[in-house]
């Protein structure tokens, strides 16, 4: 896997929030990360541009859109690339904020995911590669190609290597995640059962557990979701599984926002391990034996290699079963 033969025709950038991840990807591809010149003015405005020419080159930009500043920084940088005559601009965003605003749940609400799509397209993005959109149908908001990749594949490889002897039941924290849980179970082995936590939303980030579909007694469980925000709801689910007789309980989610910190998991006796990706840069600052970060590094490297060579993204989804 290398882009060395094409380094004169392609450029890799990493926005400040994913510069470390971009460097790891560049090392895998045996290319360099091109510097971004960034200036912050006294009034808080920013100016971002490439330190080198991008004329007639295919550009890959690795970033994480987890904050308002990161969105504005990307839009400004994409505009600068387009005005500098970049041939093709591919954004690799490890996290897409506003993905949970994918519909009008009540009157007068915006559809934030649709707005983000329009902003990226207008700025000049030619293709988007991202991970575990909250709702896959968000891809339909875009008139450009979108590859919505799955972190469950690196997660499965970790389970293959480190937890081969463990027998798991995959648990969806709600009915909406049942398909996601089933896909993970089938990746590991077709014999794995799934269970579904029946919960009722009573407000933003507030839920009440009302039941469980499936058997978890004397089973090791993986509660699998796409996003951990405050963590309150998923901790309630873990506590409920313990009450129902579960043994070890792992929590796995692609995007670990941890908006109220990691202490809630650190202090939860029902949780043995939390697995997340590095889609949110700040997770690497959390120091805890209960946290396992499974990087997107290799998957992004392969995605760039496959995209450059105009091959099928299905190559990224090849994995072995746990026997």
Q: Which residues are catalytic?
A: 199
Q: Where are the alpha helices (DSSP H) in 244-284?
A: 263-266
Tokens of 300: 């992004």
Residue 292's H or E segment, with its range, is strand 291-293
Tell me the three state secondary structure of residue 291. strand
CA-nearest of 139, 121, 122 to 130 is 139
Contacts of 170 (CB under 8 A, 6+ apart): 181, 182, 184, 185, 188, 192, 193, 194, 195, 221, 222, 224
Determine phi and psi for 269, rounding to 5 degrees: -65, -25
Determine phi and psi for 218, rounding to 5 degrees: 60, 25
The whole-angstrom separation of Cα 246 and Cα 239 is 9
Contacts of 225 (CB under 8 A, 6+ apart): 172, 173, 177, 180, 234, 251, 252, 253
The whole-angstrom separation of Cα 184 and Cα 225 is 11
The whole-angstrom separation of Cα 32 and Cα 44 is 30
């Amino acid at each position: 896997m290398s882009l060395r033969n094409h380094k004169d025709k392609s450029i890799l950038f990493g926005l400040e929030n994913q510069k470390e991840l971009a460097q790891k990807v560049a090392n895998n591809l045996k290319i360099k990360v091109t510097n971004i010149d960034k200036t912050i003015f006294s009034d808080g405005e920013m100016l971002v541009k490439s330190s080198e020419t991008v004329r007639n080159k295919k550009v890959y930009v690795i970033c994480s859109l987890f904050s308002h500043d990161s969105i504005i920084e990307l839009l400004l940088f994409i505009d600068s690339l387009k005005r500098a005559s970049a041939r093709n601009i591919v954004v690799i965003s490890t996290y897409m904020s506003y993905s949970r605003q994918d519909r009008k749940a009540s009157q007068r609400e915006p559809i934030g995911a649709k707005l983000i799509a329009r902003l990226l397209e207008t700025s000049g993005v030619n293709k988007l590669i991202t991970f575990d959109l909250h709702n896959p149908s968000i891809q339909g908001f875009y008139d450009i190609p979108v590859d919505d990749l799955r972190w469950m594949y690196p997660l499965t490889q970790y389970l293959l290597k480190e937890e081969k002897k463990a027998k798991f039941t995959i648990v969806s924290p709600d009915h909406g995640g049942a398909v996601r849980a089933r896909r993970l179970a089938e990746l590991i082995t077709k014999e794995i059962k799934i269970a579904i936590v029946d919960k009722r939303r009573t407000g933003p980030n507030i839920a009440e557990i009302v039941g469980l579909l499936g058997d978890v007694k004397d089973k090791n469980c993986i509660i699998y979701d796409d996003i951990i925000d405050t963590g309150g709801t998923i901790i309630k689910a873990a506590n409920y599984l313990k009450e129902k007789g579960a043994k070890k309980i792992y929590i796995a989610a692609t995007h670990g926002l941890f908006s109220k910190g990691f202490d809630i998991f650190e202090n939860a006796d029902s949780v043995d391990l939390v697995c997340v990706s590095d889609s949110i840069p700040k997770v690497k600052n959390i120091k805890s034996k209960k946290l396992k970060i499974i990087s997107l590094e290799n998957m992004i490297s392969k995605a760039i290699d496959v995209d450059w060579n105009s091959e099928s993204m299905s190559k990224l989804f090849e994995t072995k079963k746990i026997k």
